[in-house]
Amino acid sequence: MDNIFETFSGADLDRLTDCIYAVRKAGLSIDKYAQAGVNQSSGNVYIWSEDWPGCVYCSIGFDVNWSYSCPECGEEFDFDTYQELEAFANDCNEHDGKCTSCRDEE
């Protein structure tokens, strides 16, 4: 088992706690298939699970958001709540997995 304190320390621990709170507030669970880390490019702390259509992250400024990455084009979309993320992901699924950026105009 990895030591969580090898990955998270200081403010990153606080931001991880904020992500955990957001997951619980959304009614989701964190299991052995979830991953948490620090994005080395942005500095965001995140939690991702294969059971969710996106991930939750907390920025350096302690803003918590949910993020969806389109599997077709890679475009990223941010949402304030998990419910907004889930609705967007469901809409993408109804359009053959394509997001609003890469689907054909209707």
pTM attached to this predicted model: 0.90
Domain ranges of the chain: 4-93
Q: What share of the chain is helix, strand, coil (3-state, %, to 5)?
A: 30, 25, 50
Q: Please give the structure tokens belonging to residue 51.
A: 């059971």
> Which pLDDT band holds residue 106 (cuts at 50, 70, 90)?
low
Q: Mean pLDDT of all residues in the chain? A: 94
User: What percentage of residues in the chain have a pLDDT greater than 90?
Assistant: 89
